[in-house]
Amino acid sequence: MILLFEGCDCVGKTSIINELKKYLQKNSVYKHFSNPPTCKNEMIFNRIQYLNEIHLMNMYKYEVNFIYDRFYFGELVYAPIYRGYTIDYQDFIEGQLNDLNAILVYVYCNEDIIHKRFDNKFIGQDDIKFILNKYSIELAKSKMNNIIYINTSNKTSEQCAKELLKEIYT
């Protein structure tokens, strides 16, 4: 199983993943993608990094669960805002992920709740509305075959993890 968790900062992605770890087999790989390291061309670095990950997914797809706290989708939203570029490899990456039956898990909640949970670590308070809108736009354009939406507004992380597992396995 390949799960790609996406969503604005402070919606509960990492908390849900931590709950999922309690239920999934021991042979699960967890990776967190955040800001890419500063290098001459971050977009090329990211493309290589994602392709390497997809290669690993292909090699071990029958042996390992892959759980990503952000993957390429976060770059669609955050790179134009904070790093000054747009990615040009979405269709290719999504084609590869669809071949692997990867699941994009979009985690979201009410904007007011995000402001309450806000930790000032990565994004600016004033950017939240824009980021949520950008996620909506990019989700509408996505060609991912499997997308699951998880609303954390009125649920605990444990409830969200159980809801996700139920949706995956039914």
Beta strands in the chain (DSSP E): 2-6, 28-32, 65-69, 103-108, 147-151
The pLDDT tens digits for 47-103 are: 777 788 888 888 888 888 899 998 888 888 888 877 777 777 888 889 999 999 999
Is the confidence at residue 43, as pLDDT, over 90?
no
- Asked if 27 and 62 touch (Cβ cutoff 8 Å), the reply is no
- Asked if 141 and 87 touch (Cβ cutoff 8 Å), the reply is no
Is the confidence at residue 17, as pLDDT, over 80?
yes
Q: What percent of the chain has pLDDT over 90?
A: 41
Which stretch, 48-52, 83-87, 108-112, 115-119, has highest mean pLDDT?
108-112
Domain ranges of the chain: 2-101+111-169
Rounded to the nearest angstrom, the gap between the alpha carbon of residue 106 and the centroid of all alpha carbons in its chain is 7
Is the confidence at residue 142, as pLDDT, over 90?
yes
Q: In what order do the strands lie in the sheet with 28-32?
A: 28-32, 65-69, 2-6, 103-108, 147-151
Is the confidence at residue 37, as pLDDT, over 60?
no
**What pTM did the predictor assign?**
0.87
CA distances from 16 to 51, 84, 137 (A): 25, 30, 24
CATH number, span 2-101+111-169: 3.40.50.300
- Asked if 79 and 87 touch (Cβ cutoff 8 Å), the reply is yes
CA distance 113 to 72: 25
In our burial notation (b when 16+ CB lie closer than 10 A, e otherwise), range 62-71 reads: eebbbbbbbb
